[in-house]
Amino acid sequence: MAKERDNSASFRQIDENLKRVYDEALEQEVPDRFAQLLAQLREKGVEK
């Protein structure tokens, strides 16, 4: 029973950390180079 509580606490901590990292990643801006590549793809799609 104690092992289940330890596992539960571990899973809860992992879950909280994953959510925190995911939220931080969402707050980051798209790198300039990636934005430029997306713009180029959009232009090529319009040309077709």
Q: Tokens at residue 8, please? A: 């539960």
pTM above 0.85, yes or no: no
What residue segments make up the domains of the chain, in order of their start?
2-47
pLDDT of residue 45: 86
pLDDT tens for each residue of 12-31: 999 999 999 999 999 999 99
Query: Given pLDDT bands bounded at 50, 70 and 90, which one contains residue 6?
Result: confident
Rounded to whole angstroms, how far apart are CA atoms 12 and 3? 14
Of 45 and 31, the one with more pLDDT? 31
b/e for 14-42, b at 16 or more Cβ within 10 A? Answer: eeeeeeeeeeeeeeeeeeeeeeeeeeeee
